[in-house]
Amino acid sequence: MRAAAEGDVLPLYVLEREYWRLPDTSARQLAFTVETLAELRRDFAALGQPLVVQIGDVVEVLETLRRDGKLTALWSHEETGNDWTYQRDRRVARWCRDHGIRWTEVQQFGVWRRLSSRSGWAHGWDRMMAMPAVTPPPLGPVNVDAGPLPSVRDLQHEFGMRADPCPDRQPAGRRVAEGVLQSFLQRRGRSYRWAMSSPLEGAQACSRLSPHLALGALSMREAAQATWARQRQLADMEPRPDPSWPKSMTSFVGRLHWHCHFIQKLEDAPEIEFQNLHRAYDGLRPSAPDADRLAAWAAGETGLPFVDACMRCLRATGWLNFRMRAMVMSVAAYHLWLDWRAPGLVLARRFTDYEPGIHWSQVQMQSGTTGINTIRIYNPVKQGRDQDPTGAFTRRWLPELAPIADHHLQEPWMAENAAAILGKVYPHPIIDPQEAARHARDQVWAVRRSDGFRDEAGNIVAKHASRKPSPRRRASSRKKATPSGQMSFKF
């Protein structure tokens, strides 16, 4: 924000009590935030003015600063968050209007407010990401007490948050984020294209930038420009590099587009946090979830080994690769027949990198309620065999299955010694995966065949699908120096 003396800037972060009491926030996210703020405070201090961190309602904090003559203008990034942050921003906007405070919001992702059409969206993303980065100038000190940065433990008590042990959570902070980006581009990313789907190899081969991007410790523009620079470096190498590198970098740029593509959906239709994107699915599943099934899934106790391993890994690390996220949500929605809202909240709290736009779009996609995406009912047994062929991942998180032979690991109920394990140290499966998938498929496809379904699906495509550029435009874009890495979204 701009303070009273022209040119003075007061960096401010408000830890909002109500936000941290929401059902989609968690102590692991709070801990990641506080670690990032600690480093950010030191960085601002080096520029001349430490970061001020306050606890409370943001409008009340701003009003106190205004009354004390410390605030004449407000600057922030554009946020596409959950409904609570949207309503908070509306309150801030009203307060600014009432008091004649100019509020400038700066675009942070390739997401546009009040977007009228998705035509050319991906090209707009490329142009926005190619803009020069901004280096912060020195700051003049402002007479506001920065105070001590509260501890995570004190904040958990202040906000009434439940315990949330996450022993293998990623460390936070901008220095960490910069190191993660460079290690991915220079070392870890070579196998990204083919290893990203593996729960074991993906933990190293994926970028692991998502929590830093979600919180803003690293900007999307920085990530895109560094990746483009790496692509140019690879193209100029002699002798030619391992062909895995260029392919992986192309795939990664596509995923960066994908990140903003899904946030754009929530920006354009904030109701998808609560409502089915395609309203024909309203009432398909019970609105009140089966509490026993939901609890077993959340605890990693469904009796489906690969699902349980993924959920236990997520609880301990705060992260899963994309395919595993899709699979655990698919099982919750199809096999366990849970409405997406309840398991979606469980995952939102578990993900250190929770980004509402990506999260709720994906939760609905993997539950089959968008009406425009392919219905994908993951077979958890097959996924375990395909993605964890040695069983190393499953055995790491389910040590109680050690006596089960490798060929029965993903179906322990088929093992000769099943009676000694199931119901004693590991649960029987709470559903028959084949029968549950068959029931779900019949129910979902019955909706898709209903009257008027295609018309509404067409309206959804028109609003949310990124247009594929013409062949002539694609050919001309390939001649430009800046690689576009455009990803066409096919629905």
Binding site per annotation, positions for FAD: 192, 252
**Inter-residue contact 368 to 276 (CB < 8 Å):** no
DSSP bridge pairs for 74:
103
**Inter-residue contact 401 to 392 (CB < 8 Å):** no
Angle of helix 244-268 relative to helix 356-367, nearest 10 degrees? 90
**Inter-residue contact 280 to 452 (CB < 8 Å):** yes
Reference 225, options 334, 91, 354, 128; nearest CA is 128
188, two tokens = 């870890």
**Inter-residue contact 429 to 233 (CB < 8 Å):** no
DSSP bridge pairs for 13:
53
Q: CA–CA separation, 473 vs 359, rounded Å?
A: 32
Q: CA–CA separation, 129 vs 396, rounded Å?
A: 40
String of DSSP letters for 411-478: -GGGSTTHHHHBTTTBPPPSS-HHHHHHHHHHHHHHHHTSTTHHHHHHHHHHHHPPPPPPHHHHHHHT
Can you say which residues are annotated as belonging to the binding site?
192, 252
- Among the residues of 300-432, which ranges form H helices? 305-317, 322-330, 341-350, 356-367, 380-387, 392-397, 418-421
Q: CA–CA separation, 205 vs 209, rounded Å?
A: 11
**Cβ-count burial of 90 within 10 angstroms (0-12 exposed, 13-18 middle, 19+ buried)?**
exposed
397, two tokens = 């998180």
